[in-house]
Chains A and B, each alone.
Chain A
Amino acid sequence: MKTPEGLKYAKTDEWVKVEGEEATIGISDYAQDQLSDVVYVELMVDEGDSVSKGDAVATIESVKAAADVNFPVSGTIIAINEDLAETPEVINSDPYEAGWMVKIKLDDPSELDDLMTAGAYESYNVEREG
């Protein structure tokens, strides 16, 4: 399972890649593996929307389950990955690059402090697996 260094991770399995005031959000390799084959992604937001931490980014449907993806941080949407509608499988094959979901402009960069480092997220996953 890949957990790239440099990204921030939420307990609810989203990753955040911070570049200045902007952040890209997607779901982790661990999360896509748990979901198994993704068949459908519905993004719940549009460019320009302002969103709060905890709001729904998307609903992901896999052959096993449907799951919500939530914003780990607040901000304004500056881009959404429109390709996911046609090729949702990239969430399985490339969760950290082609599988990105939204880019936002951060309201409050201090919210990032609540998120985990790659190492902490890996330990958290080991603990969850029991």
Chain B
Amino acid sequence: MTEKTIYELSQPGRVGVTFPEPDVPLTPSPMGFEREHLNLPELSELDVIRHFTNLSKLNYSINSGFYPLGSCTMKYNPKINEEAARMPGLANTHPFQPIVSVQGNLYIMYQLQEWLQEISGFHRVCLTPAAGAQGELVGALIIKNYHQKNNDTKRVKILIPDSAHGTNPATSSMSGFNVVPLQSDERGNVDIQALKSECDETLAGLMLTNPNTLGLFDENVEEVIQLVHSAGGLVYGDGANLNALLGIVRPGDLGFDVMHFNLHKTFSTPHGGGGPGSGPVGVAEHLNDYLPGPIVTIIEEGDEESPPFFGFYWPEKTVGRMKAFYGHFGMLIRAYTYIAMHGGKGLRNIAEMAVLNANYLKSQIKEDYTLPYDRTCMHEFVVEGSWDKVPAVHALDISKRLMDYGFHPPTNYFPLIVHEALMIEPTETESKQTLDAFAKAMKSIAKEARENPDLLHGAPFTTPIRRCDEVKAARDLVLCCWIPD
């Protein structure tokens, strides 16, 4: 490490604050509550400032560079989102306040529900799920409860295409379904014959990621949905790739029954370590009653004199509460701000630019990397990170070498159906200059792989920590924190 831990920097007796003399009489602490040794680091204010400033310099984020992590939609998060979320009237509210005192908050949530419905073509939206995977869980539970309420208890099977997001099988298993994988055809679509052979009376539903993890829009999506519906199943849409569709196609219109949104992808709320996720769920009309709660609604219509009065309701056959209070409200403010700033045309422009950027980048590197599915892609694409002529070089080596060029690596080894996959998603927020610089680095690495493969095996050379031992990291888990005395 280039920076010691705060405990290693500690010096006995060093302090960063001085307390004033007490102006009230001293009272001894209750017996047994006093400790001689707290094992806290002892540093000056300057030590602490330098420590955290140095640590922050080791960080790589979308604010410092290009971050083409496929499937994650690492777009820039506009700072006006932060301004809005930090407004004292919003930031200082408390979930226990009476609703009459937080009507502004409820208005934001209500409007966001309405906007997400309009964008997706769904009938109702619940904002509470904490992130994408929890949104998926909501969807799977809704499918399960729907069949149970219809006494259709034979339906135990969920179909999941092999191009789906990796969380889909986990969600289905967790909800008590049997997971049946569906293969893709040679164009990267759901294999219709394979689907037909699974459409029987045990079919509970299909979880479809569209565009899928190959970055391809399923060309037969309407037929796929129709086949599942005809067999009595429901179709779950994994909305993680909604960024490619904004203002162009509405999943609700395609016939999806339920879908989650990733506000932290499509709607630019912070992602990864930057903040909690948020995974609202939308449903078609026949599933309205199954949504989790609470959901914001208008309790009293407004008129010219006074605004409407907002409150909460619980759907009749709800799958229950997924999250304390009302979900990650701070994220809802950011997504609201993002949608308000863009408007309808702006949202469509996001999808168009995301798709254009991905296709541009694909065209720039397709001479140097194998494209397993050479179709017009949506917001992301997948190449093979290996070459027959240099068998010793793997996708991982290319990813590590990209760090030396100053770029965050793309997603590697996913989707599993592509050999040595590198999944690249530039997002709409990157300029042509950035895309060109990345393409140049990718071309240069392809050349290095041919001429000097050891350079790739040794990479990264320029990062604070060189290549990590991933096997050791996965095998020797240290799950408790060690604090030196």
Task: Please report the number of residue pairs spanning A and B whose Cβ atoms sit closer than 8 angstroms.
Answer: 18
State the main secondary structure of chain A at its contact with B.
loop
Within 8 A of A (CB), among B462-477: 470-471, 474-475
Is B475's CB under 8 angstroms from A65's CB? no
Judged by a CB distance under 8 angstroms, whether B413 is at the interface is yes
Q: Which residue of B lies closest to A39 (CB)?
A: B474
For the complex, give the distance between the alpha carbons of A61 and B474 in Å.
Answer: 9
Which residues of the other chain, B, contact A63 by a CB distance below 8 angstroms?
Answer: 470-471, 474
Is A40's CB under 8 angstroms from B413's CB? no
Judged by a CB distance under 8 angstroms, whether A64 is at the interface is yes
How far in angstroms is the closest Cβ of chain B from A8? 24
Is A40's CB under 8 angstroms from B474's CB? yes
Q: Report the interface size class on chain B.
A: under 10
For the complex, give the distance between the alpha carbons of A36 and B471 in Å.
Answer: 10
Is A37's CB under 8 angstroms from B413's CB? no
Which residues of the other chain, A, contact B6 by a CB distance below 8 angstroms?
Answer: none
For the complex, give the distance between the alpha carbons of A37 and B468 in Å.
Answer: 14
For the complex, give the distance between the alpha carbons of A88 and B474 in Å.
Answer: 12
Q: Report the interface size class on chain A.
A: 10 to 19
For the complex, give the distance between the alpha carbons of A7 and B342 in Å.
Answer: 62
Which residues of the other chain, B, contact A39 by a CB distance below 8 angstroms?
Answer: 471, 474-475
Which residues of the other chain, A, contact B470 by a CB distance below 8 angstroms?
Answer: 37, 63
Judged by a CB distance under 8 angstroms, whether B416 is at the interface is yes
For the complex, give the distance between the alpha carbons of A65 and B475 in Å.
Answer: 14
How far in angstroms is the closest Cβ of chain B from A112? 25
- Choose among A36, A64, A89 the residue with the greatest number of B CB atoms under 10 Å from its CB: A64
How far in angstroms is the closest Cβ of chain B from A5? 24
Is A64's CB under 8 angstroms from B413's CB? yes
Which residues of the other chain, B, contact A37 by a CB distance below 8 angstroms?
Answer: 470-471
Which residues of the other chain, B, contact A88 by a CB distance below 8 angstroms?
Answer: 475
Is B475's CB under 8 angstroms from A40's CB? yes
Known: A37-B471, A61-B474, A65-B416. 7 other contacts (CB 8 A): A36-B394, A37-B470, A39-B471, A40-B474, A63-B470, A64-B413, A88-B475
Residues of A in contact with B (beta carbons under 8 Å apart): 36-37, 39-40, 61, 63-65, 88-89, 129
The 10 A-B pairs at the shortest CB distance, nearest first, are namely A39-B474, A64-B413, A63-B470, A37-B471, A39-B475, A65-B416, A39-B471, A63-B471, A63-B474, A65-B413
18 pairs, A vs B, C-beta closer than 8 Å? A36-B394, A37-B470, A37-B471, A39-B471, A39-B474, A39-B475, A40-B474, A40-B475, A61-B474, A63-B470, A63-B471, A63-B474, A64-B413, A65-B413, A65-B416, A88-B475, A89-B471, A129-B419
